Amino acid sequence: MKTFRLLDGAMGTELFARGLAHGTCPMLWNVEHPDKVADVHRSYLSAGSQAVLTNSFGGSTFALKRYGLEARLGELNWAAADVARSAAGADAVVVGDIGPCPELMEPYGDLTEEDVSESVHAQGSALLEGGVDCFLVETMGDSQEVCASVAGLLPLGLPVWASYTFEKTPEGPKTMMGQTPLEAVTAAFQAGAYGAGANCGTSLSLEDYLEIAAALVQAFPGKPLILQPNAGAPVMTPDGLAYLADTEEFTDFAEKAWGLGITVLGGCCGTRPCHISGMTIALKRRI
């Protein structure tokens, strides 16, 4: 596959800035406002991103069902990949973005491993047809779901990245299911993921992410590792929750993370092209 070091930032943050209404399915914009979705991709590419994530985070059967759109899974995911591919051109990498199912797996919920694998396979097939170069299963809180998702994607023949979301606990960062970063990432690699790491985490600071980075690099030497932090831990303001980490902080974070040995960096909630610009500066310093 084509290699990349710098992914993009938040898609939702940018779509809301362009008029997406809360409560609306973001994936509808792939067909109703493809120009605005493409503009988000181009803004990140202009900031220095070497790869962009498709606007398909909620593209599973179970996520689309909440909007009554499950019958349009193929159409909406294909369009997400097509818009990203058109914006990226031949040089940048297009990553098929696959988020978690909004329902729990057995024994805590009703979803089986087969349910998840089948849904992810269908989503991945449409993204592949639209032109993606690889997949990222992201914001995962359960290694069982990661393993089922990777199993559904591997037959499609493209590399699969897997990324978990962690939150602070008295014992250190853990997933929703209580797994440490080392336990969760180990499961992803054992399932066949090409690369793995962490993203999001509403209680994690950039310093917390550096601690996770150091632990992962030590535990998985030579393995592709990815980090996509939020723009700092959110804080409550008079206007609601806000992410306040600025470009300078992201530049410093990125330089330290690459210095530790992280393979790929990007941004999650609250990050914008300015944050990616900071990471671009850091990457040029590390090369």
Check residue 287 and give its pLDDT: 66
Q: What is the pLDDT along the chain (287 residues), one digit of tens a residue?
A: 678 999 999 999 999 999 999 899 999 999 999 999 999 999 999 999 999 999 999 999 999 999 999 999 999 999 999 999 999 998 999 999 999 999 888 898 889 999 999 999 999 999 999 999 999 999 999 999 999 999 999 999 999 999 999 999 999 999 999 999 999 999 999 999 999 999 998 899 999 999 999 999 999 999 999 999 998 877 777 776 777 789 999 999 999 999 999 999 999 999 999 999 999 999 888 76
Question: Model-level pTM?
Answer: 0.95
DSSP collapsed to 3 states, the chain: CCCCCECCCCHHHHHHHCCCCCCCCHHHHHHHCHHHHHHHHHHHHHHCCCEEECCCCCCCHHHHHCCCCHHHHHHHHHHHHHHHHHHHCCCCEEEEEECCCCCCECCCCCECHHHHHHHHHHHHHHHHHHCCCEEEEEEECCHHHHHHHHHHHHHHCCCEEEEECCECCCCCCECCCCCCHHHHHHHHHHHCCCEEEEECCCCCCHHHHHHHHHHHHHHCCCCCEEEECCCCCCEEECCEEECCCCHHHHHHHHHHHHHHCCCEECCCCCCCHHHHHHHHHHHHHHC
Check residue 16 and give its pLDDT: 92
Check residue 242 and give its pLDDT: 73
Terminal alpha carbon distance of the chain: 21
Sign of the CA dihedral 73, 78, 81, 86?
negative
Q: Which of 188, 216, 212 is nearest to 200 (CA)?
A: 212
- Side-chain half-sphere exposure of 142, counting CA atoms within 13 A: 19
